[in-house]
Chain A
Amino acid sequence: MQKSTIQFFLINCFLVLILSSCGSVTKDYTPKKLDKTSYQAPYFSDSKTDYVYKANITVYGNEISGIFIAKKINDTTHRVVFTTEFGNKLMDFEISETTFKVNSIVSELDRKILVNTLKEDFRLILKKDYLFQSAYENDSFNIYRSKDGKRDNYIFISKKDQKLEKLIRASQTKEKITVLFNSENNIFAERIQIIHQNIKLKIELNYFKAE
């Protein structure tokens, strides 16, 4: 009898723990009236610009660095290439919101889980058009929720100068990916950080300074 009581107590404790960690992503923000229903992200939208970044990837304590290159090649699609500092191409993708093509990838990196993760990350930072379903705010940001399949994207626009500074990709209950943008002019981002919450993966991109 006593044993089953302890078991019951333990199960309850676990349930409390699980439930309490399942809070909604928006619990810290105040809901507000939706003041706009669509938005266009600026940072990879110009088809004339070669977007070239120094890339540093930290994955489970390992460091990989190289050059990240993105270019809008038509209305819907970006070409994304990752090379070493010497210029050797490590991967070469074509990504749109609905399509994904691997032009080339070195065999060492050709792992399904890695490719799928990068596909989701790159799609997120390259995405231009958002439709908003609800709005929130905190002290610094207007925050908009945009449904994307099973996930929700939260777009953080700074109240001060209307810049896209943060994206959060989340499930119903948990944040999965956080993207931080630093942009001086709101046309391109000098610095982009992609941080994963569920795996130890961080991608940092720093724009090549103009000479």
Chain B
Amino acid sequence: MKTKIFLFLLILNSCNTAFAQEQKMTDAEITSFKQDVNVVAKKIKTLSTDFVQYKHLDFLSKDIETSGKMIFKEPDLLQWQYKKPYNYSIVFKNGKILINDEGKKSAVDIGNSKIFARINKLIVGSVSGNMFDDKEFTISYFKVKGQNLAKFIPKDATLKKYIKQIELTFDKEEATVVQVKLLESSEDYTRIVLKNKVINAKIDDSVFSN
């Protein structure tokens, strides 16, 4: 009986590694990967993408799904717009957060809120991929079947309270982000899948008026 359990666990374990197949990058691979991403990120003047957000909470029977569109324009205009199952749009603009919640509008001045400024930088960094800041994060690099994976652990204590780890998955060919995973704890995370990405289309500033 014990051997059976042992065998079962062994098989389970090997299945696990077969599924995940997270392989650490070599130093040379890291250098070339970072270079590829930075070349693409530097070219990004505007970016718009559809997204699906899956909120995973360990005690729920299924993930909470919301979806919408994200638009970014250099240097720091950002709109994150949920369309399903509700209309909620948040714009980061000139040190302000503008919120439109089903037509109800409000504004928050974030000039003095460091944490929001940081979140802004984080979102833009996550989506563009340009986040390789060793001062802010402890970063590790992996290869996963046709994709690259970078894991960022915040160094700042305040940020760490909110986010334990950020995982960015990159398309290997295009060197752009296809998935953002924000881990709050080992059990609970938010996974955002980006699709239909359009880079450097003309986007008018008025889009970010909310």
Contact = CB atoms under 8 A, between A and B. Distances in A.
B10 interface: no
B85 A87 contact: no
B47 interface: no
B89 to A, nearest CB: 10
B9 interface: no
Contacts of A107: 161
B86 interface: yes
Interface string A28-56: 00000000000000000000101010101
Contacts of B161: 106-107
A50 B61 contact: yes
A56 B85 contact: no
Contacts of A206: 86
B182 interface: yes
A158 B163 CA distance: 46
A50 B62 contact: yes
Nearest to A62: B106
A85 B88 contact: yes
Contact of B162 (A56, A106, A209): A106
Contact of B101 (A48, A50, A65): A65
A211 B62 CA distance: 14
A206 B64 CA distance: 14
Range of interface residues on B (Cβ < 8 Å): 20 to 34
Contacts of A69: 57, 60, 64
B104 interface: yes
Interface string B56-74: 0101111011100000000
A101 to B, nearest CB: 13
Contacts, number: 59
A48 B66 CA distance: 21
A73 interface: yes
Nearest to A52: B64
B60 A71 contact: yes
Contacts of B163: 88
Contact of B65 (A65, A106, A211): A211
Report which residue of B55, B82, B88, B101 has the largest number of chain A beta carbons within 10 angstroms of its beta carbon: B55
Contacts of B66: 85
Interface string B73-107: 00000001010111010100000000101001010
B29 interface: no
Nearest to A87: B190
Contact of B59 (A48, A65, A79, A211): A79
Given A54-B86, A63-B106, A89-B184, A73 B59 contact: yes
A62 B104 CA distance: 12
A86 interface: yes
A203 interface: no
Interface in B129-171: 161-163
A95 B88 CA distance: 29
A208 B57 contact: no
Contacts of A65: 88, 99, 101
A52 B104 CA distance: 21
A94 B149 CA distance: 35
A208 B85 CA distance: 6
Given A63-B104, A73-B59, A81-B57, A208 B64 contact: yes
A125 to B, nearest CB: 18
B101 A56 contact: yes
Question: What 4 A-B pairs are tightest by C-beta distance, nearest first?
Answer: A87-B190, A87-B55, A50-B60, A209-B85
Interface of A: 48, 50, 52, 54, 56, 63, 65, 67, 69, 71, 73, 79, 81, 83, 85-89, 106-107, 206, 208-209, 211
12 contacts: A63-B104, A65-B88, A67-B64, A69-B64, A86-B53, A87-B55, A87-B182, A88-B162, A89-B184, A106-B161, A106-B162, A107-B161
